[in-house]
């Protein structure tokens, strides 16, 4: 892809990333504006931690949870699409569905006595909550591969691992990335609840604002979480689009 075309292709993610960076740097300078939002408060800019620190911790929690969700989701979905694991398909699907339907707040409440306060229960809740989209899309992607292509690959002498790695996963990559995109984007917003049990996230200003009735704090946290979610979604969308031509060409 030519450099100019590549720059245009990644233009939207770069735009949202620039908006996020400007918000991180610029929000502390908008005190007069936020005084209009929360006129009854002397302090309207969240200063307990820097926005950059909150962003870094937020990304770390979401990243670790995504790593767990993706690893478990891919492994589970691949296992139940093999001949020796098909009997476990209903079990894996139900476990993944339970992770999505079980409220993250409830997971936090149950895990705090075991893991304590802070990052660990937050990562656990996010990992469970982000599991279903990865499992579901991986199953759809792998099951949608044309059986004729698989038969041709086996006829060429490929081993089961080679068929999976060189044929099935590349052809299913677009759909799998769609699930990962959904999982990560949802968890960026959901991670804010970790602030209720002592994890340092972009939810800190939101929780502090709700407790103290400071709308300015809530708005600052919401702006940063929104920009981060849109940036991540846009980047993963472009990554998903970038694998589509290779998949189409292989499928032909």
Sign of CA dihedral 219, 223, 224, 228: positive
7 Cβ neighbours under 8 A, 6+ residues apart: none
117 secondary structure, DSSP code? S
pTM score, whole prediction = 0.88
Listing DSSP states for 130-143 in one string gives THHHHHHHHHHHHH
* CATH 3.40.800.10 holds for 52-251: no
> Can you tell me the distance from the alpha carbon of 10 to that of 78, in angstroms, rounded to the nearest whole number?
31
> Can you tell me the distance from the alpha carbon of 52 to that of 28, in angstroms, rounded to the nearest whole number?
11
pLDDT tens for the chain, 252 residues long, are 555 666 667 788 899 999 999 999 999 999 999 999 888 888 999 999 999 999 999 999 999 999 999 999 999 999 998 888 888 888 887 777 776 676 777 777 777 777 888 889 999 889 988 888 899 999 989 988 888 988 898 888 888 888 999 899 999 999 999 999 999 999 999 999 999 888 999 999 999 999 999 999 999 999 999 999 999 999 999 988 887 644 443 433
CB 177 within 8 A of CB 240: yes
In the chain, where the domains are located = 52-251
């Amino acid at each position: 892809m030519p450099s100019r075309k590549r720059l245009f292709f990644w233009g939207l993610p770069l735009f949202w990333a620039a908006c996020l960076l400007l918000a991180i740097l610029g929000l502390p300078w908008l005190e007069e504006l936020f005084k209009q939002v929360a006129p009854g408060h002397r302090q309207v800019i969240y200063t307990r931690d820097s926005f950059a620190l909150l962003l870094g911790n937020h990304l770390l929690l979401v990243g670790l949870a995504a790593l767990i969700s993706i690893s478990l989701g891919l492994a589970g979905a691949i296992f139940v699409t093999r001949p020796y694991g098909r009997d476990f398909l209903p079990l894996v699907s139900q476990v993944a569905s339970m992770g999505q339907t079980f409220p993250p707040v409830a997971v936090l409440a149950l895990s705090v006595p075991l893991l304590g306060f802070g990052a660990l229960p937050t990562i656990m809740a996010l990992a469970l909550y982000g599991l279903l989209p990865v499992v579901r899309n991986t199953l759809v992607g792998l099951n949608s591969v044309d059986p004729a292509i698989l038969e041709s690959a086996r006829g060429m002498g490929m081993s089961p691992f080679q068929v999976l790695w060189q044929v099935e996963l590349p052809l299913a990559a677009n759909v799998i990335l769609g699930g990962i995109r959904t999982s990560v984007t949802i968890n960026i917003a959901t991670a804010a609840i970790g602030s209720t049990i002592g994890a340092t996230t972009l939810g800190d200003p939101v929780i502090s604002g709700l407790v103290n009735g400071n709308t300015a704090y809530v708005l600052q946290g919401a702006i940063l979480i929104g920009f981060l979610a849109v940036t991540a979604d846009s980047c993963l969308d472009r990554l998903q689009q970038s694998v589509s031509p290779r998949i189409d060409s292989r499928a032909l």
